[in-house]
Structure formats: C-alpha cells, structure tokens
Amino acid sequence: MPVTLVGIDVSSKKLDVCLERPDGTPEALEFSNDRKGHKKLVKRLTRRRKQARVVLEASGTYHLDLALALHAATCTEVMVINPRVARDFARAQMQRSKTDALDAAVLLEYVRRMEFRPWVPPTPEELELRTIARRIGSLKKSRTQEKNRIHVALCESVRHDIELNIRHLDRRIKALQEKALDLTWEYPRLRKQLAHLTSIRGIATASAIQILGELCVLPKDMTPRQWVAFAGLDPRMEQSGLSLNAPARISRMGNRALRAALFMPALVAVRYEPQVKAFFERLITKQKVRMQAIVAVMRKLLHAIHGMLRTATDFDGKKFYAGA
C-alpha cells in the first residue's frame, strides 16, 4: 500500500501541513493546533485506511501533543527531528524565504529524501510527571491571584471566603507534590534526576518537580542552546539601519512554565551558591541591570542542568563558573 508522506510545521495556534498527493505533487492544508484539529488531521491523513509518514520538528512547547496524537493513530508513523537538522536541511535546499507553509514543504522534502526514524514518545511516567507539574503550576497561579484579591476585599465575609480557598489550594498543591514525589520514587531514573537537580542550592524539591516535569519530555538529543530557546531565554536582537538599536531582550517564545520554574531558584542561588553568586556579581560589575543578570543566571543554570542530567552527576560550582 502506498504511503502518504507529510511535513508539518507546528506553531502555537495552527498546523501548516504539506502532504504528497498520489501524483507526487504537494498539497498545502491547515489545521488548528488543538485536540479537535489533531483529530481532523489524523482523519484526513488516514482516510481510506491510507498509511502516513509524518515529519515535524521539536518546536517549543507545541509539538508534543500533536506527536502523541499521531503516534497513537493506527495508520500513522511520526518522526520528530531536531530544529537544527531542519534548518540545515533547508539551507542545503537553498531555501531563502521562511514562512510556515514553506517550512512544511521543506519537512515534506526531508521525509522524501532522508532515512525515516520513528519517534519514541516520552514514557507514561514522564508524561504523568509533566501533567502533575503543570497542574501544580496552575494551582499556584490561582493561589497568587487569591492572595492579591484579599488585599482589596472590603467585606469581611469575602476575605474569609478567600482565606478558606487559599488554604484549600495549599492542601491540593501539597497533595499533588506528594504524588509527584511518589511517582519519582517509583522510577529510579526520575528519582536520580530529581536528586541531581536538588544538589543545586536554590532548587528545592518543589522547584525541581516543576523543572523536571518540563525537561523530561524533551527529545533526548536536544542541545543546551536548544533548551535555552525552548525556555524562551534566548536573546532577541532588534536592529535596523541607524534608527533602531534596541537593547537585547529574551525572546519569550518558548515554555513559560519552565521560565517561571527557573526564576525563584535563580534568585536563591545568587545568594547561597558561591559560584552562582560570583557569576552574578561579575555581571553586575559589567553594568548589567539586575534583571538581566538574573536571566543570565537562569540561562547558565539551564546549561548546567543539561550537563548534569546527561552525565548523571550533581552540581559542580567550578564548572558553572571558574572565576569564583
């Protein structure tokens, strides 16, 4: 049975799909990047029980749910490639322009020419940890909102109700954190990774759960720089001619949950981890704004965590910053 080859460019709201028709010509389609859109896509690719081979790149936070939906479908195979591989392939094809539709066409050409390696999805325990971690993050956000509301509540009965809800949220957060710890304790690899994370002064168990929940589902071949881009901590330059030369800022085009999980550990680490503190103070002496220095610490911590999890070692301050 002939196999339909498909390239998909994934963004936050939509999927740009380029599939190969039976006569070999490409067909461009578009679907929403949500559960409903995923179902429509799978139905379109597998109608008349056709087999489909799909290539997409590991782009930010948006590809995982789609990859899982395609992997679960009976007539589809999915391959998730490193974004650098896709970019280098596009350059080799002399692709000068860049749009979502053109990126999908490049991925279709990739699956035509290159060896197909089926994607291995995260393990059920990794997906469960990610789900629990995200739920904890959502509850913490609700708790913060309630704490902000209590300051402006003019009615005593309303303040009492908010206090009750805050205590209720505290209990739910604690229960989920215990569930996450039980889960990591059940699986030795997750337990060891959590221990490596907490070897950094500044990353306590609660923060480690949030960080590991986001990182454990990433493709294993991602580089530290790709982790930084995934977190949206990569710098974004804005320069144009002589009139625009804005200060560099982080892109924020990535995983908001991971950025939030790294922020408080970075603040604590610059106080209690000697090499991190030395690195931070060096940035301050170079006239860096305090928040810029904190972001640089977050970025460097992410590099350190990548090395720690890859080599199964605890935090080594001398490797983080040798100038201390």
In order of their start, the domains of the chain are: 3-113 (3.30.420.40), 124-186 (1.20.58), 224-320 (no CATH)
Half-sphere exposure in the Cβ direction for 118 (13 Å, CA)? 9
8 A C-beta contact, residue 183 and residue 125: yes
pTM (2 d.p.): 0.77
pLDDT at 62 over 80: no
Q: What is the pLDDT of residues 93-127, one digit of tens each?
A: 777 677 878 889 889 999 999 989 888 888 999 99
Quote the CA–CA distance of 111 and 3 in Å, as a whole number.
Answer: 11
8 A C-beta contact, residue 250 and residue 244: no
Q: Which residue, 96, 298, 186, is CA-closest to 290? A: 298
Q: What is the pLDDT of residues 67-91, one digit of tens each?
A: 999 998 888 999 988 777 788 888 8
Give the pLDDT confidence score for residue 279 in this predicted structure: 94
Compute the mean pLDDT over every residue in the chain, rounded to the nearest whole number.
87
User: Is 230 in a helix, a strand, or coil?
Assistant: helix
Q: Which residue, 197, 177, 191, is CA-closest to 137? A: 177
